[in-house]
């Protein structure tokens, strides 16, 4: 099923130095990091960012298309969890292995952009930083490197053959290998990128020439909205992609702000249907049904991935610390960092908490190892579930807690939106974001959450 949504587009901030130690409120939450990960509170650098400024809305509007990712054969193939899980396993952790091996279906959110003068449909992802499109006549491979017919990778139209301003100097290539084995690699160069009538000049991008990919047959690449510390550019040949060859660059989001196009703030209100979901850079998305009196403001947390030195002192993922969870008249007050990630379909919680919330469905949801997710009767009674942010309960609609169209053919059961995140890190994905307007205020190193009346 394909829906239509509007997108208000501009940019997010450059990533100046951030520092600061965890204050007492966050101390307990930050000390128990998963293997290979550490956290600390970021410090804002743009003092202009006031509540009055944040209320400003962008004038750049474009359509964002939620796309049924059923053909992708999994819920969240390009999530932050895949990146963190891969690095965490390098240091002996367990990460998000279940996330990246799940075979259930989900929704991806795409925007029509112009890259080097050609229109391409690109997935929007707040959990990654690289912008890339598949190159014309690319190679589609399987997990062992065997060449396959191009249609097997499931891309949409492929127009691009070369970069508008040539290759990077020295030459670099992008290489990403996700936790489930998906691979995207290709040369990097410079082209103008236009999104929402905003044109970023000479943006560094990748034209992927070799992919092992689970596509949706509609999109042809991805726009990453995260920070330079998560970019994946490497010097040398296509086979040289160890950390010693990694070169950080300015991703699309950062370039927009450094070129003075918009202020360092953006917001997202994604929809499950064809109403008024938006992505707005430079201010709040002008969506209806907002309860501004219940706005939650949380500190932005730096998520440091040990094998990636740049993440130790710079923004990486958009991470916050909720006050806890409310479900079935029960409140869990353990404070744990969560990544807010539009590239992830489900919410990934600590194992015990995920078990408890899924047990509150009637009948109780059961864990299916083949999917790495919980399933229950498709007509189950859904419990009340809320994330507690800044003392405010943000309820997740029952519609978003049970995917009644995602049915396991063997059992006839439907998938829930609460998944087991193992040892972490943990994620607030689309199932949560569909119920709020999320404001990413990089200038103040804060995130704001405004509930939407969308039951």
Residues in the chain: 455
**Catalytic site includes residue 130:** no
Beta strands in 51-179 (DSSP E): 61-68, 107-115, 118-125, 131-141, 147-148, 172-177
Is residue 289 within 8 A of residue 454, CB to CB? The reply is yes
List the one residue out of 90, 162, 452 whose CA is nearest residue 285.
452
CA dihedral sign, ordered 225, 227, 231, 235: positive
Catalytic residue among 130, 180, 271, 341: 341
Q: Kindly state the tokens that stand for 398.
A: 């029952």
The CA-atom distances, in angstroms, between 125 and each of 233, 283, 288, 294, 385 are 18, 18, 23, 26, 25
* Degrees to nearest 5, angle at CA 343 with 46 and 153: 135
Contacts of residue 305, Cβ cutoff 8 Å, sequence gap at least 6: 36, 37, 83, 84, 87, 311, 316
**DSSP assignment, residue 452?**
B
**Catalytic site includes residue 299:** no
Instruction: Look at residue 335 and give its three-state secondary structure.
Output: coil
- Which residue numbers are catalytic? 125, 341
């Amino acid at each position: 099923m394909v829906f239509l949504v509007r997108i208000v587009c501009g940019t997010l901030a450059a990533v100046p130095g951030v520092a600061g130690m965890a204050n007492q409120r966050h101390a307990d939450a930050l000390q128990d990091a998963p293997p290979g990960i550490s956290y600390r509170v970021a410090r804002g650098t743009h003092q202009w960012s006031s509540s009055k400024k944040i209320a400003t809305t962008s004038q750049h509007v474009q359509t964002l298309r939620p796309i049924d990712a059923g053909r992708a054969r999994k819920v969240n193939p390009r999530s932050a969890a895949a990146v963190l899980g891969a690095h965490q396993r390098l240091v002996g952790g367990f990460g998000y292995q279940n996330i990246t091996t799940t075979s259930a279906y989900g929704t991806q959110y795409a925007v029509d952009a112009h890259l080097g003068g050609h229109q391409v449909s690109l997935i929007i992802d707040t959990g990654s930083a690289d912008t890339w499109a598949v190159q014309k006549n690319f190679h589609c491979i399987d997990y062992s490197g065997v060449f396959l017919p191009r249609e097997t990778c499931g891309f949409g139209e492929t127009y691009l053959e070369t970069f508008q301003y040539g290759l990077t100097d020295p030459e670099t290539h992008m290489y990403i290998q996700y936790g489930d084995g998906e691979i995207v690699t290709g040369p990097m160069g410079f082209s103008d990128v236009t999104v929402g009538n905003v044109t970023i000049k000479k943006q560094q991008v990748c034209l992927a020439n070799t992919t092992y990919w689970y596509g949706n047959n509609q999109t042809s690449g991805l726009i990453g909205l995260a920070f330079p510390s998560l970019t994946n550019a490497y010097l040398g040949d296509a086979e040289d992609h160890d950390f010693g060859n990694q070169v950080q660059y300015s991703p699309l989001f950062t370039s927009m702000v450094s070129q003075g196009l918009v202020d360092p703030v953006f917001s997202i209100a994604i929809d499950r249907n064809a109403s008024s979901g938006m992505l707005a850079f430079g201010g709040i998305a002008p969506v209806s049904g907002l309860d501004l009196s219940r706005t939650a403001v949380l500190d932005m947390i730096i998520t440091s991935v040990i094998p990636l030195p740049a993440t130790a002192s710079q923004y990486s993922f958009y991470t916050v610390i909720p006050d806890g969870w409310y479900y079935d008249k029960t409140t869990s007050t353990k404070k744990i960092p969560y990544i807010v990630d539009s590239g992830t379909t489900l919410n990934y919680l600590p194992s015990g908490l995920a078990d408890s919330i899924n047990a509150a469905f009637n009948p109780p949801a059961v864990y299916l190892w083949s999917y790495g997710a919980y399933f229950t009767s498709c007509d189950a009674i859904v419990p009340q579930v809320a994330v507690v942010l800044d003392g405010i309960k943000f309820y997740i609609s029952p519609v978003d807690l049970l995917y009644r169209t995602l049915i396991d053919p063997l059992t006839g059961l439907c998938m829930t939106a609460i998944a087991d995140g193992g040892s972490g890190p943990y994620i607030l994905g689309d199932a949560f974001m569909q119920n709020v307007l999320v404001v990413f205020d990089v200038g103040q190193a804060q995130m704001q959450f405004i509930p939407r009346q969308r039951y």
